[in-house]
Amino acid sequence: MTMKNHLPSAIILFVLLLAFCFHAIAADNKSYSGTSTLASTQSGYLFTSTLETSSVDYLDVIDPVATDTVATLLRTTPDITVNGTWIAARTATITADGTTYLSITPVLQALFPNVSVTLKNGRLTASGNGLSLEAIAEEAYFMVNDRYFYVPSLVMAQENDLLLPAESLANALGCSVVKEPATGTLSIRRVGPVATANTYVEEDLYWLSRAIYSESGNQPMKGRIAVGTVILNRVADEAFPDTIQEVIFAPGQFSPVANGTIYRTPDEKSVIAAKLCLDGVREADGCLYFNVTSMYSWADQSRTYSCTIGGHNFYL
């Protein structure tokens, strides 16, 4: 009698439990199956996202849509063309203080199809097709075919590549760079030969590099160039001697002459700074005097202060 009374209750409980299990399975299948399509404008690509029944991870594949639609979505950065070929999809751009920087590698590969590019420990080297290029992250210069180019705001590093100012890079590679006002497109075109090394008067490079090293060997590139600028400004000024050596050895002008450090072999950066100065690069332009910031000198009293670069004050 007792079992007959409890049997209906057990059956009802079993049916309810079975229904609950079926509901849970259906909900699980609904959550982990199916396909959704989305356009990701942030990454710049058009994707379909497929959900496998055994996983919640997305598998991104190119959606079969019209080519012009894909191109439109890819152009999430300013368009960049090299000799008419669009390369923006693989080129990083940065604007710093009004200067547009470009990734070096894709520009080189577009201009020189067989170029070999290597980036290791912040140093990028490229060679091939008559090109030899070297750039170092956070340095104020880069080199193309033994010709140095000044980068006052420094070589930048980002996403497995180095970046250079668009105009400096284009100039070194014998290209023009034009920004279209209406579209913002950067157009880079070959208009001449790639840069080659300049020739220098041996005596000028010898003494200018030694003066820069002895006066500012512990300064950043900008400070070294500023010291070189003062020397060259004096050469050009009628009140001073006419050659670099004569300016440096004029009585009572440069302390390294008096203490003998002028004869030390300059480091590589001082030689580069001297070459940049002889190529026309200038810092503290117009200045004829400088002294260390910790010293109060004749120039502080008698000359017009212009600027401070590193550990030196410069005067007109």
* Sites in the chain below the pLDDT cut of 50: 1-7, 24-76
Residue 155: how many CB atoms within 10 A of its CB? 23
What's the pLDDT at 75? 35
Amino acid letter for position 28 = D
Residue 99: how many CB atoms within 10 A of its CB? 15
**Dist CA 75 CA 228 (whole Å):** 44
pLDDT in tens, 210-239: 999 999 999 999 999 999 999 999 999 999
- What is the DSSP track for 9-58? HHHHHHHHHHHHHHHHHHHHHHHS-EEEEEEETTTTEEEEEEEPTT---E
**Dist CA 16 CA 10 (whole Å):** 10
Residues constituting the chain: 316
What's the pLDDT at 147? 98
What's the pLDDT at 222? 98
What's the pLDDT at 270? 98
Of 48, 24, 52, 50, give the one whose Cα is nearest residue 37.
Answer: 48
